[in-house]
Amino acid sequence: MAMKLKTKLSFGLSFLFVVILSFGILSIFYINRLSSDSQKVLKNNHESLVYCNNMLKALEDIPAKKSAVTFFNDNLTRQENNITETGEGFATKELRKNFEELLANPSDPSNYPEIRQSVYLINDLNQQAILRKNEVAKKTAEDANLWLTIIFVVLGLVTFTFVVNFPQIIATPVRLLNDGIRAIAQKDYAKRIYLKQNDEFGELVNAFNGMAEKLDEYEHSNLAKIKFEKSRIETIINQMRDAIIGLDGKGNILFLNEVAQNLLGLKEANITGRYAADIALTNDLMRNLLQGEDKKELKIFADDKESYFNKDVLNVTDNETIIGKVIVLRNITPFHELNEAKTNFIATVSHELKTPISSIKMSAKLLTDSRVGDLNSEQQDLIKSITDDSDRLLKITGELLNMSQVETGNLQLKLQQANPGDIVEQAIQAVLFQAQQKNISIKKNINENLPSVVADTEKTSWVLINFLTNAIKYSGESSAIEVAVYPNEQSVIFSVTDQGKGIDEKYIPKIFDRYFKVPGTQERIGTGLGLSISKEFIEAQNGHIWATSTIGQGSRFSFELQKV
């Protein structure tokens, strides 16, 4: 059964603990034993030797000193209380007997030899005991030295083995796993770790090898597919007429298709991996692409002519994190060419139509003259219809001509100092007849002492006329229209407010677009260009135009022009 790393650690540390504990217990045991033997020698035998020496000295002084008898008796009494060896008790009794005989006649020294013999016997017994106990203590010391040496050697060997082998048990798998993880991080999925350990490290190594095998299988199973997809995408990108530039998250060049290479005058192989901002230092187009706004239209000389490109910047994301960008330059030159042809066609047709339409209008007017002849009611209705249609056609052709001027950039402005009140009055007079036909009153709300504005009077009046015409068209019978002019901080604001049915809020942002008509209106004629042209006229004069409306309450169209 395989031993786990935790079990190995627990076993090794437990063994060391037991050895250390045993060493300590034996050391304490032998030290206490030696201490006990030494104490016995000092306490028992050594004291007896002292008592014997004292009694021998006192025996010599007994005839001369009376205190010697007392001193002898004291030491003898102590010896009687310190009998520890075999035969020592008998010798001490004989000594007491002889001493009692001496006390009966202190001046008679006849029993001195017996007393000395008893003392010497006690002395010899204790000296022999000291030698015997010394041998025992020496034997104890030798045993302690032997066992402690054995335990120390065993403990040292075990500790040395543990110190030498255990770090390898930990360090070797960690080192191998570290090498394996580094190889996997570098996409070396063929890396395997070979370690014969039936513990947690062995299980970890087996799990690592299983993971590497799965990654290797996944890599090889998808590598061909990934390469094919990469080649296919590169082919598609290079076949596109749009210029495509790929950047990574740090702004380094990843790829350029052939169109982008031609526009930039650079080769993909020379700049791949380089920082795009560094390339922009010497390449104007790259600088414009990196600094310019998105959706910006660029005019670039390409295909031996001036070409137009619309720039789009697409973010490449991974889990909502931007990891790169793709800059796409869409070639819109064909659309520009078509739009220019359309504008020229409209301008030509509109210009050519104005003359015959004016002739038709003039002829219709002549027919109404009584000098030509009287007309019956039906003929008068026909003439009126012809006149109305001619007016509408002239308005349409006028709007188309104005739009063609805007689109071709041929809009001519006569900017000069103008009086806002004169502009308003000119516009009101132009639509007054239309208002009277619907019994609509036009109210003026013009602040006194208005500052002059910088404007093209004719085109500004045209914008106000367009506002008023629309207001009359969508207002009910016998309603009112207000024309207001008032100063702002740096400008003068003109507004036309009607009481019509209003415009849905969702259509407000689109009403100044070309050809846009609010859904649901009953108007069938018109080009849908009036408000678009108005916006172009106002913005060309550095002004601003806007509209507000509420369903059922009417609309307000406004613009502002700079003060003088």
Lowest-confidence segment of 48-52, 77-81, 314-318 by average pLDDT = 314-318
222 vs 532, more confident: 532
Query: Tell me, what's the pLDDT at 205?
Result: 75
The span from the CA of 50 to the CA of 110, in Å, is 25
Provide the 3-class DSSP secondary structure of residue 146.
Answer: helix
Assign 111 a pLDDT band (cuts: 50, 70, 90): confident
Q: Is the model's pLDDT at 153 over the cut of 60?
A: yes
pLDDT number for residue 388: 67
Q: How many CB atoms lie within 10 A of CB 342?
A: 12
- Confidence bin at 556 (pLDDT 50/70/90): very high
CATH for the 5-171 domain, from 1.10.287, 1.20.120, 1.10.1200, 2.60.40:
1.20.120
Predicted TM-score (pTM) of this structure: 0.41
CATH of 337-407 given 3.30.1490, 1.10.287, 1.10.150, 1.25.40: 1.10.287
Superfamily of domain 412-562: Histidine kinase-like ATPase, C-terminal domain (3.30.565.10)
Assess contact for 76 and 99: CB atoms under 8 A: yes
Lowest average pLDDT, out of 38-52, 400-414, 425-439, 545-559, goes to: 400-414
274 or 223, which is more confident:
274
CATH 3.30.450.20 fits 240-329, yes or no: yes
Instruction: Look at 471 and 287; give whichever has higher pLDDT.
Output: 471
Look at residue 328 in the predicted model and tell me its pLDDT.
80
- Which of 192-196, 312-316, 366-370, 444-448 ranks highest by mean pLDDT? 444-448
- Amino acid 378: pLDDT: 78
Q: How confident is the model at residue 464 (pLDDT cuts 50, 70, 90)?
A: very high
337-407 and 412-562 agree in CATH topology: no
Instruction: For residue 27, name the pLDDT band (cuts at 50, 70, 90).
Output: confident
Which residues are CB-contacts of 332 (< 8 A; sequence separation ≥ 6)? 297, 308, 309, 310
CB 52 within 8 A of CB 91: no
Identify the pLDDT of residue 560.
95
Average pLDDT rounded to a whole number, residues 117-139: 82
pLDDT of residue 293: 59
pLDDT grade, residue 244 (50/70/90)? confident
Q: Name the CA dihedral angle for 147, 152, 154, 155, rounded to a multiple of 10 degrees.
A: 140
Mean pLDDT confidence for 421-444: 91
pLDDT for residue 4: 63
Helix (H) or strand (E) holding 72: helix 67-80
Q: Residues 446-459: pLDDT tens digits?
A: 988 899 999 988 88
Q: What's the pLDDT score for residue 234?
A: 66
Share of the chain above pLDDT 70, in %: 75
Predicted confidence band at 481 (pLDDT cuts at 50, 70, 90)? very high
Q: What is the structure's pLDDT at 124? A: 87
Q: Average pLDDT of 305-329?
A: 77
From start to end of 295-440, where are the E strands?
Answer: 297-302, 305-318, 321-331, 416-418
CB 540 within 8 A of CB 458: no
What is the average pLDDT across 403-424?
75
**Looking at residues 108-136, what average pLDDT do you find?**
81
DSSP structural state of residue 275? B
Kindly report the average pLDDT of the chain as a whole number. Answer: 77
Domain extents for the chain? 5-171, 240-329, 337-407, 412-562
Q: Rg of the chain's alpha carbons, rounded to an integer? A: 62
Q: How confident is the model at residue 21 (pLDDT cuts 50, 70, 90)?
A: confident
Query: How far is residue 314's CA from residue 323's CA, in Å, rounded to a whole number?
Result: 11
pLDDT at site 557: 95
* Per-residue pLDDT reduced to its tens digit, 170-211: 667 777 778 878 887 887 777 777 777 677 777 777 787 788
Query: So what's the pLDDT on residue 442?
Result: 93
Per-residue pLDDT at 364 exceeds 70: no
